[in-house]
Structure 1
Amino acid sequence: MQSISPSQFDTWLADAVQQSPGVTPAVLDVREPWEQQTASVKAAGFDLIAMPMRSVPARYLELDRSRPVACLCHHGARSAQVAQFLVQNGFSAVVNIHGGINAWSQQRDPGVPTY
């Protein structure tokens, strides 16, 4: 499983679009609903899908296995576990956003609150 930093996200997104023409990449936010309400990324060029980590084993089949997915959480630990789970279940284009939304705020969008 590959990890990217938020500062590498634009490169990953461009590569994902090029490698999967006609397929919109997704950021899979695996944080709890209260966390998503506290701070969230703005979807631009990708779909933002909220699926708390605890619900992933029951819901992962809602995702297209061929769709590029970048997993996101608070600091990167939960999203790394989810990314590994997806890879083990046949997803081929999955990355973890290392540092999570906290790093996203620091590296990409200071308008995203930290908590």
Structure 2
Amino acid sequence: MLTQVSPAQFQAWLAAHSNDSALPVVLDVREPWEIAQASIQGEGFELRCIPMHEIPGRLQELDPDHPIACLCHHGARSMSVAAFLINHGFEDVSNITGGIDAWSLTADPSVPRY
């Protein structure tokens, strides 16, 4: 199922998945230069960085048994990737709405905006 999670709701999303046997994954689908500008930090999840255009060729690097929250700059690319994952058999996929820009504004102001 595809859900929407705002940056403000992310800690609750993590808590809801903390009892799972698989560590939740934040899948950052931005380009490497974007990740160099701003990235999220935290505990309780694995950060995986795979640019959107590389997802189809690197799908085997993602485990469908792990909850995944997709992240991009504003939320459009991550929404596309989340839908792609759902269409390829992943069941617990979320989109972080507003992307890292909203993350900076509402969850962690230390994350630079670009």
Give the TM-score normalised by structure 1.
0.96
How many residue pairs get aligned? The number is 113
Sequence identity percentage? 53
Structure 1 partner of 2:8: 7
For 1:18-37, list aligned pairs within 5 A. 18=19, 20=20, 22-37=21-36
TM-score (norm 2): 0.96
**1:53 equivalent in structure 2:** 52
Name segments (4+ residues, structure 1) moved above 6 Å: none
What SS does the corresponding residue of 1:109 show, helix, strand or coil? coil
Q: Which residue of 1 aligns with 2:97?
A: 98
Q: Distance in 1 between matches of 2:5 and 2:36?
A: 24
Give structure 2 stretches of 5+ with no counterpart.
none
SS of 1:114's partner is coil
1:44 Cα offset (Å)? 1.3
Q: Secondary structure at the match of 2:42?
A: coil
Task: Give the whole-Å Cα distance in 1 for the aligned partners of 2:49 and 2:85.
Answer: 15
Please, which runs of 5 or more residues in structure 1 have no aligned partner?
none
Q: Distance in 1 between matches of 2:95 and 2:58?
A: 18
Distance in 1, matches of 2:18 and 2:82, equals: 19
Could you tell me how far 1:64 is from its partner in structure 2?
Answer: 0.6
In the TM superposition, what is the alpha-carbon distance from 1:2 to its structure 2 partner? 1.0
Deviations 1:48-79 (A, max 9, x none): 00000000010011111010000000000000
The one-letter amino acid paired with 1:15 is: A
Aligned partners of 2:18 and 2:44 also within 8 Å? no
